[in-house]
Amino acid sequence: MKAIAAIRRSWPFPRTLGTRLFLILLLGLMMSQGLTFTAQFLERRMTAKTVMLNTLENDVATSIAILDRLPAHERAEWLKRLERDTYRYELGTGIPGVDELTDQGAGIAATIRQAVDKRYAIRFQSIPGDGKRLQAHLTLSDGKPLTIDVNPAPPMPLAAWLPYVLAVQLVVLILCTWFAVRQAIRPLVDLANAADTLDPNKMAPRLSETGPKEVAYAATAFNAMRDRIAHYLEERVQILAAISHDLQTPITRMKLRAELGEESPEKEKLVQDLAEIQRLVHEGVAYARSAHGNTEKASRIDIDSFMESLVYDYQDTGKAVALTGRIETAIVTRPHALRRIFTNLIDNALKFGGTAGITLEKDAQGSIVVKVLDRGPGIPEDQLEAVLEPFFRLEQSRNRGTGGTGLGLAIAQQLTLAIDGALKLENRPGGGLIAAIYLPKQPR
């Protein structure tokens, strides 16, 4: 196991499924192609050897018989006629050699011995310095020596065009393997992307239910799951709205009865509790709608004018809210959701800092950044993310005693996500909080 782990560390296996499938298929096809080429090449060599031996067997007997019947002075003229690519005839004793033969030489010698008439005594020798060449020595009827010089041909050379064919085959293999892997993993990638961006409340395109049977079935099941989730969330909002509506009447009656009672500390506490219950119900329904039930249509607005109008509304009521910066950009967004986001953030800034400053700017990527700043106590660094969760309240200044329900920032966070923006909180140098809303870059 340790050796396997060491091999894995020294040769990291690709982590993506597409790369793994591509390499497995490509290597398998290349090995198969290589085995096919090797088998054909070996078969070609064996065929060439067989043809040479058959030709040698049929030709040697005839050639020796012709030379034996010719007059001695005419034999030299026939040597060129009887010569072949792999063997030739010499009048004489030839080159001195050794009696030890190679395996290939022994096979050739056996073929010649079988072809030559038994009345000719034949002897075979290998030529020193050449492991393939051998000579067969015999004596003709008139006592003249004859030598058969056999030089087996080298393996048949490859055609000049063969490497180009192999290169084209390799390119075809790579392209076909890539296309096959792409077709195999593309539905999986689409499914993963759809699951990663799953939001039943957004009009995102549904997965295509076409293609192979298995892919179509998975896409249909995913679309059905998304529809069920959307139905459950819509049902949840309807239940919360119905509960809110049903609670309004008894809460109102209890408030009226409390108001008709005699003035006392208990009456004041009861009225405060009823008001808190009513506010909690309203905020709970508002959070549910911001997270799941926002169906507002987007429209084009001038962000500078929009923020100026919002700030003037606060200033008309005597609140210390100021606006700085202009970006002179129109955006397409949900204006009511955007107003609710900044209302919650400005109310928090006024509640905990007494004043609220708003700045408009653009970042390096061209996204619109709207910051709401205050000089309140800030938020501990380890709780900047936690305060965006519903019903979360800080233990010190931002607690129930301030009248908060723990849903203001959560609603702002959900609505920001609904308009494809981002909400980031950070503490200001010198005290206070910065709540920055990053709106998506608008197309030109």
Residue 268 in any domain: the answer is no
Per-residue pLDDT of the chain (444 residues; tens, 9 = 90+): 455 455 455 556 666 777 777 888 888 888 888 888 787 777 766 766 666 666 676 677 778 888 888 888 888 888 888 887 777 888 888 888 877 787 777 877 887 787 777 777 888 888 877 657 888 888 888 888 888 888 776 655 666 777 788 888 888 888 888 888 888 788 878 887 887 777 666 667 788 888 778 878 888 888 888 888 878 877 777 777 777 777 777 887 887 887 777 778 887 888 787 877 777 777 666 666 665 545 678 889 999 999 999 999 999 989 999 999 888 888 888 888 889 899 989 998 998 888 999 999 988 777 889 999 998 888 888 888 888 887 677 654 444 455 456 677 888 888 888 888 889 999 998 888 999 999 887 655
Using alpha carbons, list the distances in angstroms from residue 72 to 77, 145, 181: 10, 11, 76
Number of domains in the chain: 2
Residue 257 in any domain: the answer is no
Structural domain boundaries enclosing 126: 16-186
Q: What is the Cα–Cα distance from 37 to 29, expressed in whole angstroms?
A: 12
Residue 168 in any domain: the answer is yes
Of 166, 186, 206, the residue at which a domain comes to its end is 186
Residue 256 in any domain: the answer is no
Residue 409 in any domain: the answer is yes
Q: What is the Cα–Cα distance from 4 to 8, expressed in whole angstroms?
A: 6
Is this model's pTM higher than 0.85 or not? no
Residue 349 in any domain: the answer is yes
DSSP 441: P
36 and 181: one domain?
yes
The two three-digit tokens of residue 1, written as one number:
């196991």
Residue 2 in any domain: the answer is no
**What is the full DSSP assignment across 18-42?**
HHHHHHHHHHHHHHHHHHHHHHHHH
Burial class of 338 by CB neighbour count within 10 A (0 to 12, 13 to 18, 19+): buried
Would you tell me how many other CB atoms lie within 10 Å of the CB of residue 199?
A: 13
- 3-state secondary structure (DSSP) of residue 190: helix
181 and 300: one domain?
no
CATH code (residue 322)? 3.30.565.10
Of 135, 157, 186, the residue at which a domain comes to its end is 186
Burial class of 136 by CB neighbour count within 10 A (0 to 12, 13 to 18, 19+): buried
Structural Rg of the chain based on CA atoms: 47
Residue 109 in any domain: the answer is yes
Of 186, 215, 232, the residue at which a domain comes to its end is 186
- 3-state secondary structure (DSSP) of residue 356: strand
What is the b/e burial string over 163-188, where b = at least 16 CB atoms within 10 angstroms of the residue's CB? Answer: eeeeeeeeeebeeebeeebeebbebe
